[in-house]
Protein backbone atom coordinates (compact mmCIF):
# COMPACT_ATOMS: atom_id res chain seq x y z
CA UNK A 1 0.00 0.00 0.00
CA UNK A 2 1.44 3.39 -0.91
CA UNK A 3 1.68 6.07 1.68
CA UNK A 4 2.18 9.78 1.31
CA UNK A 5 5.11 11.27 3.17
CA UNK A 6 5.43 14.94 4.07
CA UNK A 7 8.88 16.13 5.15
CA UNK A 8 8.92 19.46 6.96
CA UNK A 9 12.27 21.17 7.53
CA UNK A 10 13.27 24.56 8.94
CA UNK A 11 14.22 26.94 6.12
CA UNK A 12 17.99 27.24 5.62
CA UNK A 13 18.06 30.83 6.90
CA UNK A 14 16.14 29.93 10.07
CA UNK A 15 18.02 29.07 13.24
CA UNK A 16 17.45 25.47 14.28
CA UNK A 17 18.18 25.12 18.01
CA UNK A 18 17.25 21.42 18.10
CA UNK A 19 19.67 20.64 15.30
CA UNK A 20 22.36 22.71 17.00
CA UNK A 21 21.80 20.83 20.25
CA UNK A 22 22.27 17.50 18.46
CA UNK A 23 25.39 18.79 16.70
CA UNK A 24 26.82 19.95 20.04
CA UNK A 25 26.15 16.60 21.68
CA UNK A 26 27.92 14.49 19.03
CA UNK A 27 31.56 15.21 20.07
CA UNK A 28 30.66 14.49 23.70
CA UNK A 29 29.45 11.07 22.55
CA UNK A 30 32.68 10.45 20.64
CA UNK A 31 31.47 11.24 17.13
CA UNK A 32 33.35 13.50 14.75
CA UNK A 33 33.00 14.46 11.10
CA UNK A 34 29.45 15.83 11.18
CA UNK A 35 29.43 19.53 10.25
CA UNK A 36 25.72 20.32 10.37
CA UNK A 37 22.49 18.86 11.70
CA UNK A 38 19.00 20.13 10.87
CA UNK A 39 15.97 18.68 12.62
CA UNK A 40 12.52 18.64 11.11
CA UNK A 41 9.36 16.59 11.09
CA UNK A 42 8.17 13.65 9.04
CA UNK A 43 4.51 12.79 8.55
CA UNK A 44 3.28 9.49 7.11
CA UNK A 45 -0.28 9.59 5.79
CA UNK A 46 -2.42 6.63 4.80
CA UNK A 47 -5.13 7.51 2.32
CA UNK A 48 -8.21 5.66 1.13
CA UNK A 49 -7.86 4.25 -2.35
CA UNK A 50 -5.36 5.37 -4.95
CA UNK A 51 -2.92 8.22 -4.58
CA UNK A 52 -4.12 10.39 -7.45
CA UNK A 53 -3.00 13.88 -8.45
CA UNK A 54 -6.06 15.24 -6.62
CA UNK A 55 -5.02 13.44 -3.42
CA UNK A 56 -1.51 14.85 -3.69
CA UNK A 57 -2.91 18.35 -4.24
CA UNK A 58 -4.99 17.89 -1.08
CA UNK A 59 -1.93 16.76 0.87
CA UNK A 60 -0.07 19.86 -0.36
CA UNK A 61 -2.83 22.03 1.07
CA UNK A 62 -2.75 20.06 4.36
CA UNK A 63 1.00 20.63 4.55
CA UNK A 64 0.56 24.36 3.99
CA UNK A 65 -2.32 24.79 6.44
CA UNK A 66 -1.57 22.33 9.22
CA UNK A 67 1.65 20.35 8.97
CA UNK A 68 4.09 23.19 8.41
CA UNK A 69 4.54 26.85 9.22
CA UNK A 70 5.32 28.32 5.78
CA UNK A 71 6.99 31.36 7.35
CA UNK A 72 9.83 29.32 8.81
CA UNK A 73 9.56 25.86 7.23
CA UNK A 74 9.75 24.21 3.81
CA UNK A 75 7.94 20.99 3.03
CA UNK A 76 8.10 18.22 0.46
CA UNK A 77 5.39 15.75 -0.47
CA UNK A 78 6.18 12.35 -1.94
CA UNK A 79 4.73 8.90 -2.35
CA UNK A 80 6.48 5.91 -0.83
CA UNK A 81 5.75 2.30 -1.55
CA UNK A 82 5.55 0.31 1.68
CA UNK A 83 6.78 -3.25 2.00
CA UNK B 1 26.91 17.35 -1.88
CA UNK B 2 25.33 14.23 -0.41
CA UNK B 3 23.66 14.41 2.95
CA UNK B 4 22.68 11.65 5.32
CA UNK B 5 19.05 11.55 6.37
CA UNK B 6 17.76 9.81 9.49
CA UNK B 7 14.01 9.24 9.70
CA UNK B 8 12.72 8.44 13.17
CA UNK B 9 9.14 7.18 13.50
CA UNK B 10 7.11 5.88 16.45
CA UNK B 11 6.88 2.07 16.32
CA UNK B 12 3.58 0.84 14.85
CA UNK B 13 2.39 -0.53 18.20
CA UNK B 14 3.11 2.75 20.01
CA UNK B 15 0.36 5.34 20.43
CA UNK B 16 1.15 8.52 18.51
CA UNK B 17 -0.83 11.40 20.05
CA UNK B 18 0.64 14.01 17.67
CA UNK B 19 -0.38 11.98 14.64
CA UNK B 20 -3.84 11.45 16.13
CA UNK B 21 -4.21 15.20 16.73
CA UNK B 22 -3.38 15.91 13.08
CA UNK B 23 -5.80 13.20 11.91
CA UNK B 24 -8.53 14.69 14.10
CA UNK B 25 -7.94 18.19 12.74
CA UNK B 26 -8.20 17.24 9.05
CA UNK B 27 -12.01 16.90 8.83
CA UNK B 28 -12.41 20.24 10.63
CA UNK B 29 -10.29 21.79 7.87
CA UNK B 30 -12.41 20.19 5.18
CA UNK B 31 -10.16 17.28 4.26
CA UNK B 32 -11.38 13.72 3.94
CA UNK B 33 -9.87 10.44 2.77
CA UNK B 34 -6.91 10.25 5.14
CA UNK B 35 -7.20 7.21 7.39
CA UNK B 36 -4.02 7.42 9.44
CA UNK B 37 -1.31 9.93 10.28
CA UNK B 38 1.96 9.15 12.07
CA UNK B 39 4.32 11.91 13.07
CA UNK B 40 8.04 11.43 13.49
CA UNK B 41 11.30 13.29 13.13
CA UNK B 42 13.66 13.86 10.25
CA UNK B 43 17.34 14.71 10.70
CA UNK B 44 19.58 15.97 7.91
CA UNK B 45 23.30 15.55 8.56
CA UNK B 46 26.14 17.09 6.60
CA UNK B 47 29.38 15.16 6.90
CA UNK B 48 32.95 15.99 6.01
CA UNK B 49 34.19 14.24 2.89
CA UNK B 50 32.66 11.14 1.37
CA UNK B 51 29.79 9.16 2.79
CA UNK B 52 31.56 5.84 3.28
CA UNK B 53 30.29 2.66 4.91
CA UNK B 54 32.15 3.70 8.06
CA UNK B 55 30.34 7.06 8.12
CA UNK B 56 26.99 5.32 7.72
CA UNK B 57 27.84 2.92 10.54
CA UNK B 58 28.63 5.95 12.72
CA UNK B 59 25.32 7.57 11.82
CA UNK B 60 23.55 4.34 12.75
CA UNK B 61 25.13 4.51 16.19
CA UNK B 62 24.20 8.22 16.52
CA UNK B 63 20.60 7.34 15.65
CA UNK B 64 20.54 4.60 18.28
CA UNK B 65 22.19 6.67 21.01
CA UNK B 66 20.92 10.18 20.45
CA UNK B 67 18.42 10.69 17.64
CA UNK B 68 15.90 8.01 18.54
CA UNK B 69 14.54 6.20 21.55
CA UNK B 70 14.85 2.55 20.46
CA UNK B 71 12.20 1.45 22.98
CA UNK B 72 9.43 3.34 21.20
CA UNK B 73 10.89 4.43 17.85
CA UNK B 74 12.28 2.90 14.68
CA UNK B 75 14.78 4.70 12.50
CA UNK B 76 16.09 4.53 8.95
CA UNK B 77 19.36 5.92 7.60
CA UNK B 78 19.79 6.86 3.96
CA UNK B 79 21.88 9.01 1.69
CA UNK B 80 20.24 11.76 -0.35
CA UNK B 81 21.82 13.66 -3.19
CA UNK B 82 21.19 17.38 -2.79
CA UNK B 83 20.59 19.68 -5.70
Span A7-31, mean pLDDT? 97
Task: Tell me, yes or no, if B40 comes closer than 8 A to chain A by beta carbon.
Answer: yes
Task: Tell me, yes or no, if B28 comes closer than 8 A to chain A by beta carbon.
Answer: no
Task: Tell me, yes or no, if B45 comes closer than 8 A to chain A by beta carbon.
Answer: yes
Q: Is A4 helix (H, G, I), strand (E, B) or coil?
A: strand
Say which DSSP state A77 is in: E
Instruction: Please write the tens of the pLDDT for every residue from B1-42.
Output: 789 999 999 999 999 999 999 999 999 999 999 999 999 999
Work out the pLDDT band at A1, boundaries 50, 70, 90. Answer: confident
Work out the pLDDT band at A2, boundaries 50, 70, 90. Answer: confident
Closest residue in chain A to residue B55, using alpha carbons only: A33
Is A41–B41 a contact, with Cβ atoms under 8 angstroms apart?
A: yes
Say if residue A9 is exposed, middle or buried (CB neighbours under 10 Å; 0-12, 13-18, 19+).
Answer: buried
Tell me what pLDDT residue B1 has: 73
Tell me what pLDDT residue A83 has: 62
Our measurement of the distance from residue B47's CA atom to the centroid of its chain's CA atoms, rounded to an integer in Å, reads: 18
Instruction: Please write the tens of the pLDDT for every residue from B42-71.
Output: 999 999 989 999 999 999 999 999 999 999
Contacts of A64 (CB under 8 A, 6+ apart): A70, A75
Task: Tell me, yes or no, if A78 comes closer than 8 A to chain B by beta carbon.
Answer: no
- In a mutational test of the B interface, the residue from A23, A27, A66 whose CB has the highest number of chain B CBs within 10 Å is A66
Q: Which of B31, B35, B39 sits opposite A46 (nearest CB)?
A: B35
The answer to whether B67 and A22 are in contact (CB under 8 A) is yes
pLDDT above 90: percentage of residues in chain A: 93
Higher pLDDT, B37 or B83: B37
ipTM: 0.93
Task: Tell me, yes or no, if B21 comes closer than 8 A to chain A by beta carbon.
Answer: no
Task: Tell me, yes or no, if B44 comes closer than 8 A to chain A by beta carbon.
Answer: yes
Q: Which of B25, B40, B46 sits opposite A66 (nearest CB)?
A: B25
How far is the CA of B16 from the CAs of A69, B1, B42, B72, in angstroms?
Answer: 21, 34, 16, 10
What is the spatial distance between Cα B41 and Cα B68, in angstroms, rounded to a whole number?
9
Tell me what pLDDT residue B29 has: 96
Quote the radius of gyration of chain A (alpha carbons, Å): 16
Laid out side by side, the sheet with B2-10 consists of A73-81, A2-10, A34-47, B34-47, B2-10, B73-81
Amino acid sequence: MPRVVVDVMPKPEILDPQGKAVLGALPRLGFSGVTEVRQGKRFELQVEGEVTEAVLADVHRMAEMLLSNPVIENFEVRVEETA
